[in-house]
Amino acid sequence: MPALQRRTSAVLVVSQILGGLGVAIGIALAPMLATEVTGSEALSGLAPTASVAGTALLSLPLAALMTSRGRRPGLVLAYLIGALGGALVVLGTMVRSFPLLLLGMAAFGAGSSANLQARFAAADLIGPERRGRAISTVIWATTIGSVVGPNIAAPAGRVFRGTTPVPESAGPYLWSAAAFLLAGVVVAVLLRPDPLLTARALTPQIPQGERKRSLRAGVAAVRESPMAKLALVAVTVSHTAMVSIMVMTPVHLGGHGADLQLIGLVISGHIAGMYAFSPVMGWLADRFGRLSVIGLAVGLLSTAALLAGTAGPRHGQTALGLFVLGLGWSAGMIAGSALLTDSVPQEARAAVQGLSDLTMNAAAGIGGASAGVIVAQWGYGPLNAIGAALLLPVAALALRRSMKPSAAGA
């Protein structure tokens, strides 16, 4: 089994690098492409919002497919839909159709769904004592694509300049589609045996009829487990607080005179905080327990909100705040995902994991959309204060659970 787990992790790492590259190349250009097609900056935010919505809406169908057929078909289908989305974005740009562009961005979000579900696939064959590290390894692999992708988007577009009818601005989405296709091929060919089906074979007492696939089944499984409730809240709030603050940071920096290069450096530091230190967070979650690292996430995210929210024109302080924000997200995502997997029975895990991705992406979509209104009405500081306030339920639930004897090992 250790050899099989190592092979599974290696395959997922490769697919994550390719999938992360595809997402990062495309998502960085989405607002600009929407402005180009519509001629309106006011509509630019709808393109990335469509991608987030697609990621959320596809989470449950993919989870249902994985429950019935295994991880491999679900991940391959998600990458194929993401590749189709990239092609539709290019077509929508060529014919100047904003609805087609939004449809493409929604399908493009399937690539993110695959990347998110891969972290759970890494945990299928491993016991709770190393589950945090298994999840964190797959999340860490996203670092490469997330950092490289935005930096090669412009050169990737220039390949199409003057040689094809593909607009230079939309060309990178064809490279995203190619990256998704390659990720799908890697999973289809190499993710054998299927980790979820193998894990299920080790628990043969689960009859076919008892495998829980639906949203209702996922909700029921979470409702029955206090630890699963805490895990779901921790993942959702960590992601929502991070997205809400992160999306408005470039606007805040620009308003205080930062140029695009400086803004890019700040966001790169934030991404490094999110992914580069994830193995450390996974080790901490396994060594000191999920609740301890969820508490660490609350502390880091609160500190980040304080730093960024009080920075004003001090760009260095803002950069530090965004780096710490990434660290907090990493701690909450890894410890929360591990605790969620620990806390529900094997037959319900795929449904619950799909529910988790649906919830966190839907909440982040609402948070990201609301962040602009909050900043416009009250400012960047109050936005950070609201982000910190969102953490209070996580802190309360974690404290409550940590005081119960049954939570000692969590």
Does residue 19 contact residue 175 with C-beta atoms inside 8 Å?
no
pLDDT at 212 (0 to 100): 52
Tell me the whole-structure pTM to 2 decimals.
0.84
Taking the alpha carbons of 181, 83, 115, 58 in that order, is the dihedral positive or negative? negative
Complete domains list, the chain, with CATH = 1-200 (1.20.1250.20), 212-404 (1.20.1250.20)
pLDDT at 408 (0 to 100): 44
CA atoms within 13 A on the CB side of 279: 7
pLDDT at 225 (0 to 100): 93
Does residue 339 contact residue 410 with C-beta atoms inside 8 Å?
yes
DSSP-assigned letter for residue 193? S
DSSP-assigned letter for residue 167? -
List, run by run, the mean pLDDT of 10-residue segments along the chain (410 residues): 87 94 80 84 77 89 90 97 97 95 95 92 89 92 79 71 77 92 98 92 61 70 93 96 89 83 81 91 96 96 97 94 97 96 89 91 87 88 96 89 64
Does residue 8 contact residue 122 with C-beta atoms inside 8 Å?
yes
Q: Which two tokens stand for residue 27?
A: 């998502």
Gap between the Cα atoms of 76 and 276, Å rounded: 26
Does residue 293 contact residue 281 with C-beta atoms inside 8 Å?
yes
b vs e for 117-128, b when ≥16 Cβ sit within 10 Å of the residue's Cβ? bbbbbbbbbbeb
pLDDT at 375 (0 to 100): 87
